[in-house]
Structure 1
């Protein structure tokens, strides 16, 4: 396979970067210009199965940059590809062109008229951000797509997006009032209502030419345009259709902007978009209908829509099972199930009268009884439960793509739309097609409008391409039989472009070409989409072509669990033997990223803190995964994981493990970073700072003896700065203050108790904040436990090895883990639980320890290892905890969860034990990573990024707290960041419980 760093054309035919072109862009633009192989590689994929290397990437800083980039590209004859979040599933946003990423800067809200219910936005605005901004006005933009947390309005317009509630609100094209855009020749114009266009000029010329073209093919439009709501293939020429000249506007006016909607960036580049808004429904209720068979769910949908719901969405058995395997989704989906349904339908009713919605929900229950399924509906009138379940549905694609192994659900017939009366037969016959080719399909999404997202499970590295072609031909025959649309929602792109002529016929396809030439005679705007497209199965465009290879890499962790083979029909998985196969597990774990961009979200969760402060694809979980995939497949030179490209991509990764939980496909970038840091340390060696960080557990026992010297250094600013500069630490930070050795202190003997527990005191709470360990010991003893401390005679205290992992010293980390495991197993074997205080340390026993190759012992230990508050909640639930508590000096506790607590769903136990304290209200601070992240925030080059992360939500929330609030944070790093950023002190939950002891 050809490397991206070579000067010969790469696999997809892209020639080496054009230095003169890049130089001119760099000189004239204020925004960023990136022509390096790593950046191009990160923009070579979207959420589709394709990979095409762009010429380069431009991130315009303002509208002037956007116009200049187009001018320079036109002068050089270089194609242009405007791109939003890159969530396209058909390959619309990949191509051999200059990619223009509008998401970082061109994301403003320009004008807003609440009375007229309109808003004007730039193309890079994210849908959820816009709706959050509109919410105080009681309005929203109702094209409610599942990628709403990351998709942009510009991308939605280019794709003619639809969403879950299109049965009520229509598609994107029905909700766009105007577009300001730049044509390929540089002309700028407003695309709006035709009757408002000037009587002369370029826009009038365009409108008249389009009307002339559509007039000639009027009968073809009437005969060949599918008569279903979900139809997004080709260009929207039916907006000028003589039989029905205004199909997209409720006001009965023809709007030229609707020709650009769904054009996939092939006709013009958008500057601004004017949107029609809708009133936000005051009330919603949800009924979850459980079906014993998939066929029944499809057959009865046509009756359910007669109740006028706002949405009817399908979740099939495969998605249910995968959701149950995800710790984030399991408790949510369980509430929606009755028995073992083969499918469920989410039926939503929305409006301003809550009683009306409850009545609709009652009618749904009655209808299902009349249809032979009494008691099949789970009522969800509660808004929080509804939101949680909708989040599972919105994660449908990512949930489906969480299947391990090379076989994955592949998008190419994903959203064929058929009339509802044929939906059951269509899905039944298509399932037969899948079985004919030895595979199964995954089904979910928009049952309300006959558009189901179906993906057959194929291995694109083996025989997937051949099966893809044959299944597509069979599916197209079914679509034609039922008079549906081959492209119902996700556009044409590379996967369905060749089917445009099949769907619309030769005459209309020629008309589409004529429209393309009218707007873009030089074919510079996203060429190869909608017209004159490549074959859907052109191997040169695949992300995983037949010649795809994984370079030999010997990982330090055991990744064999990812190296699985899956039977598409039965779902059974098998893990190949050890040896060479195991080395593939790391690459396969990296390849779990499906490029959907869920990590670009800002609204909740931890993932991805570095992207939140940079909005840079390089510092995004997806961007990092793409870099690693390209490296591990030999496409970026021979340095492998030790390369500079990998180091730069992972530079701002704080190892928060947010992606481990928030990423529905389970991409664990923190572990990938350990692999990369270890590889680089072996290739390049360790710095003094790396050694200091890694060896902290070894020098900590005597470091407190130097505390006086360190205090003196801190009081001498010039000397302090020089010392920290030499060590590579930020001068703004105070170095850790070692205060003794808790485990070395004399602990009075207590009477033997019938209950035992091991208090695993980590390095940080032993040497830096020993009051936490003292408090935990006292609380556990007050609860009636005999507390064993992890002291080993004449040796160092036990250590999880976390500091070694973070500095690239894997072998030492594993040795520490082995020593810890050996010492703790005798306790575990006799049923004694291990309780820890520092999340990152204790949770290592439940995470990294499982991939060291320690076998069943590590698994057994992980099942007995608990954070302090987790253990208390567990003991309370088992009826073994009596802890007499009284009020403390505070009336409110503000809780910040450590990232690793969030990754393991371990924040809720902290909330629960805090609520045991009488008179204490608990408020969870909704924040991402605090930014300190172990040593990250101490490092000179990362200090600024660290503080930006803290300022996203955490520090502003703390500054708003009054003196009656106590700040609670279990993480050592979190407490230090809170103090450095706000001057406030945060406490471990153990200390607060100790204060409350009677």
Structure 2
């Protein structure tokens, strides 16, 4: 019986051996790609143990995996991958008095800290990937974080590990006395201790004397060499031997973590420096003030942040003139007065160092939090570069003593220049670990340059007595350097430890000991024979056809249209697997993953599936395959990834491309025809609404869920009861298909409000005798790009006279308005589409703009309701205009507006009506939207601008949600 068959008969969890699933788990956030044997997603700890038993009997290698975000290749290999992140994510023990918590490995750091916050505690290893990284992965890598100068690394904050050994025995590793240990643990402990004693002199000589040292195995727990001892009493804790072992010694089942009190007060000083060198040289003096963090943002990162509209006002508040670098210096503690004094000491120190007036003081929490978000986004900002040249992680966390930091960074910058590239510096100046990723083209000469730069960087690290691996572990990219760092005697000792724990070399083989070369191109994601299939896309992806010159930073377009050199494939390849889409905090991305927690339904999973298909790794016709269709199936086109993804992966647009390819090959279903032709059906439905509303009787036959109430066609559409009146207009309303035919009262409300504000309102109208205008949204959703283009051309032609006069085009339905601003720009319609997009505004966006300009005069009276719950449409959030809704609603006197922290409502156009998607749709809404509304009092307004959102709310709560235009209309004096 095969391994797959045995697993399916043995475990309750999912067993994935298909080619697409293995392809999705073949990569992490590194440059490597190795296809696993298969994947098991255990449902509980019993399932985990059974899966390991089956693998041991089959002599299969085992690879434990959390979020799969390792930057060095720790979580890829030719092994059976065990995915902990879906089910093994529970808090299983908590002792507030001891300040300890016990968790399963799949618990995400931010989720744990949210759970701990009411108790006044937190887990302080605050890595920038806290929204998606799992505690098991953090322990495997010995993660650190921005505040390690105060709290230490992962190894300093683990009390115990419960693990399953290679032979299947369960064992607990902690700080107990040898006589109290389990026999299996005692046998290991005695032999490791003997090994450490034998190599005590070599440990003292070869282990770097820096806090940030995560390479090799922690054999120095017996004789602590770092700046921070592993335990406060210097007792030996065998759990610390497993921390940083990258799953090569045992499989972690539970972690007991040491907690810290949440600091009550924080202050932040932003030090502006005229030169990068001066910033690096000053760090050694600043740390003597005992801050909790000292983080670097260099000139390049400052400029990139200022180019982002969301980040610009935040970063500008931190700047004095045009600094070449800034250091974020944080102080935290129980007494606010003490933190304010520390901030003043920082100001005095900088004056003493010759930089008076260089500190921007931020004593208040709001500005601090906003600036820390910009710092956490450092890697995300840097990775958004288009083209084949990408910032590559391989020397980014070398650590050197602070007194050498300035010289080290200067000399390494010269190494980059020598090899025709550059790097952007940021992160942990407090501990001498600065992140830097040289820009390399791993399809061409990147491997050779990587090797050359690594060799020169390692020589610098050795000269300055630093650590080559300072934060992100060894994996495939740095395990080769373990022997270089620790020498032959300790390398042999590490091999002995591996053999002691894992004599058959089945636990994540090839990491830390007996590694492959870092530049083995057969292990790369872009292997020597990597080539994309020939494919002519339906949309224009030429914006991704760029080449990046690492020396000059120039970006040049390789074409002006079409996809001659693979723009669609390059857009897909923008995903670097960082896993930011796995986050569960507020925002939009990724709603389907929040429900299923399956890799296939993750933005990263979809991008990987498409990349494999477009590169022929899933077969020559894979783009049309069921595997690709399944990966795209639960994408609700929310556009959250376009905004939230660090590299701007636009899965909604990619879904249109995939649906178009599949439609061209396999044709359209009856349901897709009905959905796509909604604008063409509308004129007939307006004449006979009663007849078309009978469609509800046969909706299951079409493929719609019987539980849904279909929208009701109206005979009194907005356009049938409204004059055009284009002469002397100051604004023009675009009456979309949904609002016009199903909820015309919203368009009437918008018109009345605009007129009350002093505007003369025109309505966009088609040529005489033609049917109403449409943005083409329904055709795009069903892959009918040609028909969408025809609709777009009609709309642009109708809008042209207004656009020529500079009149704002006002839309009421977010998905339709943003089709004009976004998807329509990919239809190859040129200047007309661009100009129309520049003049297009959502109703609330336009009013907020007028208010800001001092041109809005709108007399409103208080409403009976004093509170409004606001649910943002996905596209409002994705395009950053939800704040405009909040601002406009505040025009209503005495109305308190409370945004609902929700992702997608789950309806998403036709998605929530489709029978096979109904359960998923409701599950998305039940995450937070529907429960929040059910708790609201009857005197609370429910505001939702999306037609899909309003219908989902009505179906799930029986509450009637209003468009913001209707709220303002109610308040007209």
1:916 aligns with 2:898: no
Task: Give the Å deviation of 1:583.
Answer: 4.5
Secondary structure, in 3 states, of the residue corresponding to 1:629? Answer: helix
Structure 1: segments with no counterpart, 5+ residues? 1-18, 715-719
2:871 and 2:900 in contact (8 A); partners too: yes
- Partner of residue 754, structure 2: 780
Task: Give the Å deviation of 1:702.
Answer: 1.6
- Partner of residue 558, structure 2: 576
1:938 aligns with 2:913: yes
Secondary structure, in 3 states, of the residue corresponding to 2:848? Answer: helix
Secondary structure, in 3 states, of the residue corresponding to 1:853? Answer: coil
Residue 291 of structure 2 is aligned with which of 309, 320, 331? 309
Could you tell me how far apart the structure 2 residues matched to 1:246 and 1:982 are? 55
| Cα gap change, 1:813 to 1:199, in 2 (>3 Å) | closer
2:636 and 2:908 in contact (8 A); partners too: yes
Bigger mean CA offset, 296-305 vs 932-941: 296-305
1:76 aligns with 2:58: yes
- Partner of residue 154, structure 1: 136
Give the alignment of 1:274-673 within 5 angstroms.
Answer: 274-578=256-560, 582-673=564-655
- Partner of residue 834, structure 2: 859
- Partner of residue 891, structure 1: 866
Secondary structure, in 3 states, of the residue corresponding to 1:785? Answer: coil
| Cα gap change, 1:995 to 1:797, in 2 (>3 Å) | same
- Partner of residue 7, structure 1: none
Cα deviation, 1:535-581, whole Å, max 9, x if unaligned, reads 00000111112321111121122111111112212212111135786
Task: Give the Å deviation of 1:376.
Answer: 2.3
Secondary structure, in 3 states, of the residue corresponding to 1:536? Answer: coil
Cα deviation, 1:108-144, whole Å, max 9, x if unaligned, reads 1111000010111111110111010000000001011
Task: Give the Å deviation of 1:443.
Answer: 1.1
Task: Give the Å deviation of 1:879.
Answer: 2.6
- Partner of residue 923, structure 2: 948
Could you tell me how far apart the structure 2 residues matched to 1:501 and 1:713 are? 72
Residue 222 of structure 1 is aligned with which of 204, 207, 229? 204
- Partner of residue 189, structure 2: 207
Could you tell me how far apart the structure 2 residues matched to 1:633 and 1:902 are? 33
Bigger mean CA offset, 51-60 vs 887-896: 887-896
- Partner of residue 49, structure 1: 31
- Partner of residue 16, structure 1: none
Secondary structure, in 3 states, of the residue corresponding to 1:467? Answer: helix
Could you tell me how far apart the structure 1 residues matched to 2:853 and 2:913 are? 42
1:328 and 1:661 in contact (8 A); partners too: no
Task: Give the Å deviation of 1:330.
Answer: 3.1
Residue 766 of structure 1 is aligned with which of 740, 746, 765? 740
- Partner of residue 15, structure 1: none
Bigger mean CA offset, 489-498 vs 326-335: 326-335
Task: Give the Å deviation of 1:62.
Answer: 0.6
Give the alignment of 1:155-194 within 5 angstroms.
Answer: 155-194=137-176
- Partner of residue 789, structure 1: 763
Q: Over the residues paired in the alignment, what is the CA RMSD in angstroms? A: 1.7
Residue 977 of structure 1 is aligned with which of 952, 955, 959? 952
1:123 and 1:270 in contact (8 A); partners too: yes
Task: Give the Å deviation of 1:760.
Answer: 0.5
Secondary structure, in 3 states, of the residue corresponding to 1:306? Answer: helix
Cα deviation, 1:343-386, whole Å, max 9, x if unaligned, reads 22111111111111122122222222222222322222222222
Could you tell me how far apart the structure 2 residues matched to 1:818 and 1:707 are? 28
Secondary structure, in 3 states, of the residue corresponding to 2:271? Answer: strand
1:819 aligns with 2:794: yes
| Cα gap change, 1:244 to 1:615, in 2 (>3 Å) | closer
1:239 and 1:246 in contact (8 A); partners too: no
Bigger mean CA offset, 336-345 vs 348-357: 336-345
- Partner of residue 961, structure 1: 936
Task: Give the Å deviation of 1:319.
Answer: 2.0
Secondary structure, in 3 states, of the residue corresponding to 1:441? Answer: coil
1:641 and 1:675 in contact (8 A); partners too: no
Could you tell me how far apart the structure 1 residues matched to 2:13 and 2:376 are? 33
| Cα gap change, 1:265 to 1:425, in 2 (>3 Å) | same
Could you tell me how far apart the structure 2 residues matched to 1:606 and 1:99 are? 29
- Partner of residue 11, structure 1: none
2:284 and 2:403 in contact (8 A); partners too: yes
1:804 aligns with 2:779: yes
Residue 740 of structure 1 is aligned with which of 693, 702, 715? 715
- Partner of residue 688, structure 1: 670
Cα deviation, 1:554-613, whole Å, max 9, x if unaligned, reads 112211111111221221211113578645111111111111111111111110000101
| Cα gap change, 1:704 to 1:193, in 2 (>3 Å) | same
Could you tell me how far apart the structure 2 residues matched to 1:581 and 1:417 are? 43
1:59 aligns with 2:56: no
Structure 2: segments with no counterpart, 5+ residues? none
Secondary structure, in 3 states, of the residue corresponding to 2:730? Answer: strand
- Partner of residue 731, structure 2: 757
Cα deviation, 1:929-955, whole Å, max 9, x if unaligned, reads 000000000000000000000001101
1:264 aligns with 2:246: yes
| Cα gap change, 1:645 to 1:314, in 2 (>3 Å) | same
Cα deviation, 1:441-472, whole Å, max 9, x if unaligned, reads 12111110000111101000110000000000
Give the alignment of 1:100-119 within 5 angstroms.
Answer: 100-119=82-101
Could you tell me how far apart the structure 2 residues matched to 1:562 and 1:752 are? 42
Could you tell me how far apart the structure 1 residues matched to 2:529 and 2:918 are? 43
Secondary structure, in 3 states, of the residue corresponding to 1:440? Answer: coil
Task: Give the Å deviation of 1:245.
Answer: 14
Could you tell me how far apart the structure 1 residues matched to 2:179 and 2:875 are? 57
1:249 aligns with 2:231: yes
Cα deviation, 1:827-864, whole Å, max 9, x if unaligned, reads 11111110000000011111012222222222221111
Secondary structure, in 3 states, of the residue corresponding to 1:313? Answer: strand
Task: Give the Å deviation of 1:712.
Answer: 5.8
Secondary structure, in 3 states, of the residue corresponding to 1:174? Answer: helix
- Partner of residue 849, structure 1: 824
Task: Give the Å deviation of 1:887.
Answer: 1.1
Could you tell me how far apart the structure 2 residues matched to 1:359 and 1:78 are? 59
1:762 and 1:836 in contact (8 A); partners too: yes
Could you tell me how far apart the structure 2 residues matched to 1:206 and 1:751 are? 85
1:26 and 1:33 in contact (8 A); partners too: yes
- Partner of residue 8, structure 1: none
1:142 and 1:277 in contact (8 A); partners too: yes
Secondary structure, in 3 states, of the residue corresponding to 1:957? Answer: helix
Could you tell me how far apart the structure 2 residues matched to 1:261 and 1:450 are? 21
Task: Give the Å deviation of 1:241.
Answer: 2.7
1:623 and 1:649 in contact (8 A); partners too: yes
- Partner of residue 844, structure 2: 869
Q: State the TM-score, normalizing by the size of structure 2.
A: 0.98
Could you tell me how far apart the structure 1 residues matched to 2:312 and 2:741 are? 39
2:736 and 2:811 in contact (8 A); partners too: yes
1:33 and 1:56 in contact (8 A); partners too: yes
